[in-house]
Amino acid sequence: MGLSTNRARELRKNMKTKEITPRKARCVGIGCAAIFKTDRGTRIVVGQVPAMKELPREVLEKLSSGYVAVEVPSAVLKHQ
């Protein structure tokens, strides 16, 4: 079951995060793949959104309202 838009906004507003991208994979600035640990026991992954036509069926079947697939270099997810 997904969160209502207002509840999702409220959670984001109050969420605390810490970047846990491996140092070797970090970059400075914007437009960088990254992974963050939240105070809610979750992870946030920042990456590029691939074209839907490039995604295999097994990925597409996991997507529903409110979900997106992102692509990141493997180095970003090392030891996470």
Q: Does the pLDDT at position 20 exceed 60?
A: yes
- The pLDDT tens digits for 56-67 are 999 999 999 889
- The pLDDT tens digits for 24-79 are 889 888 888 999 999 999 999 999 999 999 999 999 999 998 899 999 988 888 76
Q: How many CA atoms lie within 13 A of 9 on its CB side?
A: 3
Closest CA to 47 of 57, 39, 36: 36
Counted domains in the chain: 1
| Enclosing domain of residue 13 | 5-77
